[in-house]
């Protein structure tokens, strides 16, 4: 009677411990690093200039630097996700951003808003 209980306990322990393995660590490590300088800045420059770039004669809230975008990321995310008929949607003078571009900017924020890749 005691031997089957030990076998069952061993199976349960192995099943439980299988979720603690390194496979989760490998999955987390496999997420791509999103950096402002290489992925986000080109989008902002292409979609937000000249209006938000003082050097290009823009007169709206500057978004031309890492610090400026980081400081205003919540407002930017709200405005780029608005319906295209909303008066506050951004960008105003260019086509609405596609879902993949919006997702990339959201993921950049969620992953810690790195300026450059390590």
The pair of three-digit structure tokens given for residue 62, joined into one six-digit string: 């500057």
- Give helix 99-110 / helix 66-80 axis angle, nearest 10°: 130
Rounded CA separation 97/94 (Å): 9
Burial 72-90 (b: 16+ CB within 10 A, else e): ebeebeeebbeeeeeeebb
pTM: 0.73
Distance CA 13, CA 63 (A): 53
pLDDT 10s per residue in the chain (118 long)? 566 556 565 565 555 555 555 554 555 556 789 999 999 999 999 999 999 999 999 999 999 999 999 999 999 999 999 999 999 999 999 999 999 999 999 999 999 999 999 8
């Amino acid at each position: 009677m005691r031997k089957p209980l030990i076998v069952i306990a061993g199976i349960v322990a192995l099943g439980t411990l299988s979720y603690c393995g390194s496979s989760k660590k490998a999955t987390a490590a496999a997420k791509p690093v999103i950096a402002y300088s290489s992925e986000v800045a080109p989008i902002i420059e292409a979609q937000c200039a000249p209006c938000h770039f003082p050097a290009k004669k823009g007169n709206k809230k500057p978004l031309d630097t890492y610090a400026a975008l980081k400081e205003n990321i919540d407002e930017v995310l709200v405005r780029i996700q608005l319906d295209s008929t909303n008066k506050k949607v951004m960008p105003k003078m260019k086509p609405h951003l596609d879902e993949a571009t919006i997702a990339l900017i959201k993921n950049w924020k969620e992953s810690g808003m790195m300026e450059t890749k390590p």
